[in-house]
Amino acid sequence: MHEAITELHREGHSISDLCEVANISRQAYYQYQKRQKPQYESENEIIAECIAELYIKYDGVPGYRMMRHMVNRRLKAAYGARRILRIMRIMGIQSVTRKKKVVRTLKSGDFTAGNSLGRQFISEFKNEKWLMDVTEYKLKNGRRVFMCAILDLFDNSIVAYHFSFSNNNQLVFETIEVALAANPGAAPMVHSDRGFQFTSYGFRKILKAHGMTQSMSRVGKCIDNGPMEAFFGKLKAERYHLVRKAEGYETYDQLVDNLSTYIHFYNHERPQDVLSGLTPIELRGVAA
């Protein structure tokens, strides 16, 4: 109440009139203003300022869980998620993103493999389990752009990605070659859905040449590749859809640059609850 009076006074309203409406005396208002603020209240003001800065910096993307880690990093503190949520609610802000249910029909091919991963989405070592998938985006002119990405279950990092106008075998082949070049000697289990690229002879040949084993989701069970689906969901909700609704992507290069910037943010700056507040690259560095 007292804070509201102060704010309205800054806008030009009379203290006397505001106190009368609030049914408190002017003396009580000024005594409250002169009081020594409790430490908790002072901390909340600092936290609120930090939240506002981070909210603006990251275009309103952080929800309270992500914001908690960011605030604690910035202030070198250990505030709980509920406190951050409460302050964000008081400030009237929330993440501009929302979770979306992803439904995908998977396709079988000639060279299939069993679901060796078996939804065991935890990995003790780097380059032990990789997930792969392809998703698509649209430019303002309606032309589609495809992206293949590889996620390491050890730290949820994106170890490689590649864009193309064509959703073909070459897109997948080039992506896995980039991942192998960045991780010499890696021989992980590679899990994917049953898309035609992953059931091709060429893909199987690449895996065999590098000593990698193949695992595939069951038909119609996109949850078998859940973390990969979740990453695509984050990328689209926290970047792609926001830009598309605002001004859209005019060119291929603009889309690639913008989404590549997000992937760098995801790998290097976006703390994750499941990683105890670390970013994927921080956890990867610890295990180096």
Rounded CA-CA distance 224/215 in Å is 10
Domain assignment of residue 268, yes or no = yes
Domain assignment of residue 269, yes or no = yes
Domain end position, chosen among 43, 62, 91: 91
Domain end position, chosen among 76, 91, 106: 91
- Residues 184 and 251 occupy one common structural domain: yes
In this predicted model, what pLDDT tens digit does every residue of 121-151 receive, in sequence order?
A: 999 999 999 999 999 999 999 999 999 999 9
pLDDT at 42: 82
- 3 state SS of 158: strand
- Residues 143 and 209 occupy one common structural domain: yes
Domain end position, chosen among 32, 63, 91: 91
- Residues 201 and 74 occupy one common structural domain: no
In this predicted model, what pLDDT tens digit does every residue of 202-219 receive, in sequence order?
A: 888 889 989 999 999 988
Domain that holds residue 200: 129-286
Question: What's the rounded mean pLDDT across residues 258-272?
Answer: 96
Domain assignment of residue 193, yes or no = yes
- Residues 170 and 253 occupy one common structural domain: yes
- Residues 184 and 69 occupy one common structural domain: no
pLDDT at 18: 66
Domain assignment of residue 115, yes or no = no
- Residues 281 and 205 occupy one common structural domain: yes
Between CA 190 and CA 200, with CA 196 as vertex, the angle to 5 degrees is: 70
Question: What's the rounded mean pLDDT across residues 247-262?
Answer: 97
- Residues 250 and 154 occupy one common structural domain: yes
- Residues 76 and 142 occupy one common structural domain: no
Domain assignment of residue 78, yes or no = yes
- Residues 166 and 231 occupy one common structural domain: yes
- Residues 67 and 138 occupy one common structural domain: no
Q: 213 - beta bridge partners?
A: 189
- Residues 217 and 267 occupy one common structural domain: yes
E strand spans, 75-204: 129-138, 144-152, 157-164, 189-192
User: Dihedral of CA 79/82/83/88: which sign?
Assistant: positive
Average pLDDT score, the chain: 87
- Count of structural domains, the chain: 2
- Residues 173 and 270 occupy one common structural domain: yes
In this predicted model, what pLDDT tens digit does every residue of 152-167 receive, in sequence order?
A: 999 999 999 999 999 9
Domain assignment of residue 102, yes or no = no
CATH number of the domain to which 175 belongs = 3.30.420.10
